[in-house]
Each structure stands twice: as C-alpha cells, then as structure tokens.
Amino acid sequence: MCVFKFIFPFVIFLTIICGNKMAQNNPIDYKITIVYNNIPGDTTKGLSTGFGFSAWLEFGDDALLFDTGGDYVNLGDNLEKLKIDYKKMKAVFISHNHWDHVYGIPTAMGASKGIAKVYAPAKSAKSILEQYPRMTIEGIVEAKEILPNIWSTGEMEVTYREIIFTEQSMIINKEGGLYIITGCSHAGIIEIVKKAKSMFPGKVVKFVTGGFHLNQLGDDEVMKISNQFVELGVEKIAPSHCTGSRAIELFEEEWKGNFMRMNLGDNYSF
Ligand SMILES: [Zn+2]
Ligand SMILES: [Zn+2]
C-alpha cells in the first residue's frame, strides 16, 4: 500500500511530462475558414454574403477571428451556419479600421463572452475602443507574436483616398514556411509579403490569402504583381474580397493549380 502511495504520483508526473513533450513535438494543424466575404462560395450552404472580410483560424484547442466583416448580424448567422465553435475564440485580430472589417465586432465579443482580446493597429485602437467599449484591446506597433507562432506584421502605414492610417496583416510561422492572411492590403500586397520575408529570413511563403486590393489596376499592373509574387517565391495564392474580379481572373489563368478560391464558406488546412 505504502509503495503505491509513492509510485502513483510519480507515474502521474511522468505522464504529464511525456504528454507535454509529445504535444511540443507534434506540429499544430491550422484551419482557415472564410466566415464573411462579398464573394460567395458554395451557395448551398445558405450563408449571408455582404461586403467585407472575416476569417476563422483554428489551431489545436484554440482559435481566433481575423477581422469581423461589415455586418454583425450576417457574421453571427454565418458563424452559426458554418458550425464554428466560437467558444474557442482567444483573440480578434483587426487588420484595419474600415467598416467592412470592424462592423462585426459586437458579434465577435458576444460569441467569446468578452474574453477574446482584440489586437488592432495602435493608431486605430483608441477609435475602435470608442466605437466598441468594454473590450480588452492591445494596440500593435511593431511586429509581434500575439499567440504561439501567430504574428502581426506590425503597423504598416497607408495613404488611401488621401487619408493616412495603418494596417496590420497576420503571419502564421510554421516549420515548413509562412502563411499570410491580409485584410485589404492597402499597404500593398507585395510590401506585406516582403515584410513577412524580412521578419523570417530564409523562410518560404507557402500561401497568401485575403483582399489584395487590385481593383483599380489594369491587366499589365496585375501581371506585374503576379510576377513579383513569383520572384518572392510565393507558392500558393487565394485572392478574394477587394482583389477585383478581373485581377482574380488573371491570377487564376496564370497560377492554375497554385491558385485557390477562399470565398465565403471555403476553408484551407495546413
Ligand atoms: Zn479597407
Ligand atoms: Zn476591405
């Protein structure tokens, strides 16, 4: 009896230590699901399309919401229909303070019961908090790891329609390479990829998704961007939201098997 009294806690201790070790050695799988988009995906899912962008990123037992779309009712409806387990939500990442990315914040806060911490570009954090009080917000200035292996590019300055503001994008740093999610890419999609590469020298960019904001560009300029992606060693692209239908068409022709659709309800695991 006495022997068991000592051995049993020791076995428990070993199990915990070994369990932790195994968890560290097992690379986490990530899954991105597009929960808000102006470009519909599979319409049989009955999701609500609206202008804006939001993506659900799941990793292990945790998850975060990247941007929140342009309508909180539609966002809530889509989270329900896609059977998103929003209790897992640890963070809300706001790329920039444009209505089509922040108007769903009330739904995000409600779904996480106010627990999720909001990460926003520092220059917009105050005005976002004024619009949506009673949440914990952290203003991001420099590149930062907000959750294990999940990084912000840090604030990137933008001049858009003569207004100066800042924007951040997200990088998931996996052993095999980098996965980038952008909101609107007002800072320039190529600049964002370059920033990610400068943060992780020598790492290959496996995947870029989100809004690339190329709707004002002619075919030649879009092709220039496409070639720059190639020069930067980007492996796969999934342009959506504000990229522009003509630009998306050109990318699809050019990138063939390395072009992916990430429209409303679509998902990608890596
Ligand atoms: Zn925008
Ligand atoms: Zn947008």
Q: Which domain covers residue 202, as residue numbers?
A: 32-269
Domain of residue 236, CATH code? 3.60.15.10
CA of 210 to the centre of ligand 2 (A): 9
User: Is 11 part of a structural domain of the chain?
Assistant: no
Q: Which ligand is nearest to the CA of 183?
A: 2
Widest pairwise Cα distance in the chain:
81
User: Is 94 part of a structural domain of the chain?
Assistant: yes
Please report, in tens digits, the pLDDT of each residue of the chain (270 residues total): 455 555 555 555 555 544 444 444 457 899 999 999 999 999 999 999 999 999 999 999 999 999 999 999 999 999 999 999 999 999 999 999 999 999 999 999 999 998 999 999 999 999 999 999 889 999 999 999 999 999 999 999 999 888 999 999 999 999 999 999 999 999 999 999 999 999 999 999 999 999 999 999 999 999 999 999 999 999 999 999 999 999 999 999 999 999 999 999 999 999
CA of 99 to the centre of ligand 2 (A): 8
> 3-class DSSP state for residue 159?
strand
User: Is 74 part of a structural domain of the chain?
Assistant: yes
Block residue for tokens 């991001």: 140
Other Cβ atoms less than 10 A from the Cβ of 199: the count is: 16
CA of 158 to the centre of ligand 2 (A): 13
CA of 28 to the centre of ligand 2 (A): 29
Q: Which ligand is nearest to the CA of 243?
A: 2
User: Is 95 part of a structural domain of the chain?
Assistant: yes
User: Is 21 part of a structural domain of the chain?
Assistant: no
CA of 98 to the centre of ligand 1 (A): 5
What domain count does the chain have?
A: 1
User: Is 199 part of a structural domain of the chain?
Assistant: yes
Direct distance between the N- and C-terminal alpha carbons of the chain, in angstroms, rounded to an integer: 49
Q: What is the pLDDT of residue 166?
A: 97
CA of 52 to the centre of ligand 1 (A): 9
> 3-class DSSP state for residue 198?
helix
pTM summary value: 0.90
CA of 186 to the centre of ligand 1 (A): 6
Q: What is the pLDDT of residue 7?
A: 58
CA of 240 to the centre of ligand 2 (A): 10
Q: What is the pLDDT of residue 13?
A: 53
Q: What is the pLDDT of residue 114?
A: 86
The alpha carbon of 149 is separated from its chain's Cα centroid by a whole number of angstroms, namely: 13
* CA–CA–CA angle 126, 129, 135 (5° rounding): 135
CA of 81 to the centre of ligand 1 (A): 26
User: Is 257 part of a structural domain of the chain?
Assistant: yes
Other Cβ atoms less than 10 A from the Cβ of 90: the count is: 17
User: Is 27 part of a structural domain of the chain?
Assistant: no
